[in-house]
Amino acid sequence: MSRLSIEVPGRAQTVVEELYRDVERRISASPPGICPVDISLSFLHLCHAQTCGKCVPCRIGLGQLTTLLESVLDSTATLGTIDLIEKTARVILDTADCAIGYEAARMVLMGVQGFRDDYVSHVERGRCLFGLDQPVPCVALCPAGVDIPGYIALVRAGRCDDAVRLIRKDNPFPAVCGYVCEHPCEARCRRRMVDDAVNICGIKRYACDHASKDAAPPPCAPPTGKRVAIVGGGPGGLSAAYFLALMGHEIEVYDQRPQLGGMLRYGIPDYRLPRERLDADIDFILSTGIKVQTGVSIGRDIPFSEIEEQYDAVYLAIGAHNDRKLGIEGEDSAGVYSAVQILRDIGEGNAPDLTGKRVCVIGGGNVSMDATRSAVRLGAESVTCVYRRRMADMTALAEEIEEAAGEGAQLLFLQAPVRVEADASGQVAALWTRPQMIGPYGTDGRPKPRSADAPEFRIPCDVVIVAIGQEIDAQPFEQVAPVVRGKIQAAADAFVPNTPHVFAGGDAVTGPATVIRAVAAGKVAAANIDAHLGYHHIITTDVDIPPAHLTNTPACGRVELKTRPLAECKGNFEPVKCGMTEEEAQQETSRCLRCDHFGYGIFKGGRTSTW
């Protein structure tokens, strides 16, 4: 008989592994609004099943916690039960032998402290506090609340014009978002339970690419005689302007740049967002009768007090156009640029010549990826992106990181810049970095890097591009609105406290964010400015949504947008992504499970047709 044998997973273990993958998919597809106490109990059951049963805290303690949580959900618990849950979890956390036990206890403890009101509500009223205003996961996670299942169904029916009309009910930048949206709507797509999320962003782009280009805007409400000034012509400001114009108000947009678009024009390169698509969205918005003044800086060219006096309401939607400094030696050397300035120059048609240059880009966000990939297109001999954390910690979209590497850029992780070396003429010669190693987790949920016991690293280069973040220029508004840490303080309804009729939103309030969040801020501001002016206009559309297909939806791969070959990308800023074909769009739209019709979606009404 053999002393050893090769272990082969049995049928039972193979099935269990498949069940693990199913559970993982279900967790990733968990929609917002689920009872947090119920979720905690479900995770606790799973943790209890994972224990080896060796130590008492796991074997007995987790079982007791399970019983206590069940009593809360059954409405048989008392307020003292909640205190007992917290006490029991603390004991297990302090005494369990392994991570299975103490991490399970930590999860329960975190829940008791984080949503204690929900526990109390279950005990006192037998119900959860969590309200589910929008039961369709993709719509709930879209900041602008776009009717995603609706426009997917319209694209499937071949009605791209109606799909775009439906999108514009909540988002006047359908084409822009079809190209550059971060698509948070896909994060909890229920299709993940079957295979993978629907490519919502790709379908939106297909709809815009195949819709007619001469569509007319919906009719505006009768004139109200009210005048509203929008300070900032980016996505947030123009979204507010569009909706307020539809409500019948007279709108005038002020922007300090020569053309409208904000960071869409001066921060996102053409290879990601073609200028003709941006201009088409802006032209559609302006066709509602909005007046525009470009090349005007409020607070400098025109006093803000003058704007306040002339208009019935003012919306501050200034973007984050100022760069942040590294604060290291040699940062003022010739050849050190900010990514914001580089991308702005490209947007204005004054792209720098980087032919034959060795370029270092510092940062790990989307702006750093834009600068990295732009440098490749501007003819750089080599491009190195330096980041002080790991790849997993980068805030840039995963697809942007992957495509930057595919285009030939070198990604250098766990290297913190310490100084810029300059030659005798003051020109950049190298970037010096200090090797890092990953350390404990910080308050932002990411592990913090710390200096490693290793010598400094020299990266020869001719150009250094700094992309470590942006800030707004709030100085002209400090006398009018409260500014804390470079952000204008505004309420959730966008109103700026202690002002007569000033509102603010987008990057000006939150700091640098995404296009769709700016659009959402503009939508919120428009609704509340309209109410502030004494009106309650309704934004709606007459688009009829096709009925759901009563067919099976077997597992099917997700259609991804194809990328142009590297050889075709160098030296030009033509779009790098190719849109879906009709065949691909039909297959991808058929993967939508129509959560607006089936299950809880139809129970709650399915969709919000007006706002």
Phi first, then psi: give them for residue 478, nearest 5 degrees: -65, -25
Which residue shows structure tokens 């240059």? 357
Domains of the chain: 34-125 (1.20.1440.230), 139-215+541-602 (1.10.1060), 227-321+472-532 (3.50.50.60), 324-470 (3.50.50.60)
Query: Among residues 580, 589, 585, 583, which one has the least CA distance to residue 553?
Result: 589
Residues 548-582 as b/e (b if ≥16 CB within 10 A, e otherwise) read beeeeeeeeebbebebeeeeebeeebeebbebbee
pLDDT value at residue 323: 82
Give the DSSP letter of residue 329.
B
pLDDT band at 611 (very low <50, low <70, confident <90, very high): confident
Query: Among residues 351, 353, 335, which one has the least CA distance to residue 343?
Result: 351
Query: Among residues 536, 604, 593, 574, which one has the least CA distance to residue 148?
Result: 593
pLDDT value at residue 602: 65
Counting Cα atoms < 13 Å in the Cβ hemisphere of 552 gives: 3
Q: What is the pLDDT of residues 529-542, one digit of tens each?
A: 999 999 999 999 99
Most confident of 140-144, 171-175, 215-219, 543-547: 171-175
Q: pLDDT: is 173 or 93 the higher one?
A: 173
pLDDT band at 605 (very low <50, low <70, confident <90, very high): low
| Mean pLDDT on 77-100 | 90
Q: What is the pLDDT of residues 561-601, one digit of tens each?
A: 998 887 777 778 889 999 999 999 999 999 999 988 886 66
C-alpha distances in Å from residue 128, one per residue of 33, 122, 422, 454, 604: 10, 6, 62, 53, 17
Alpha helices (H) along 115-227: 116-125, 137-141, 148-156, 160-168, 174-180, 200-210
Q: Assess whether pLDDT exceeds 60 at residue 1.
A: no
| Calpha distance 493→523 (Å, rounded) | 10
Q: pLDDT: is 300 or 545 the higher one?
A: 545
Q: Assess whether pLDDT exceeds 60 at residue 503.
A: yes
Average pLDDT value for the chain: 90
- Percent of the chain surpassing pLDDT 90: 58
Query: How many other C-beta atoms lie within 10 A of the C-beta of residue 216?
Result: 7
pLDDT band at 234 (very low <50, low <70, confident <90, very high): very high
Q: What is the pLDDT of residues 504-552, one digit of tens each?
A: 999 889 888 899 999 999 999 999 999 999 999 999 999 999 998 887 7
Q: What is the pLDDT of residues 343-368, one digit of tens each?
A: 999 988 888 999 999 999 999 999 99
Q: Assess whether pLDDT exceeds 70 at residue 134.
A: no
Q: What is the pLDDT of residues 455-469, one digit of tens each?
A: 999 999 999 999 998
Q: What is the pLDDT of residues 384-439, one digit of tens each?
A: 999 999 999 999 988 899 989 988 899 999 999 999 999 999 999 999 999 999 99
Alpha helices (H) along 287-419: 304-310, 339-347, 366-377, 398-406
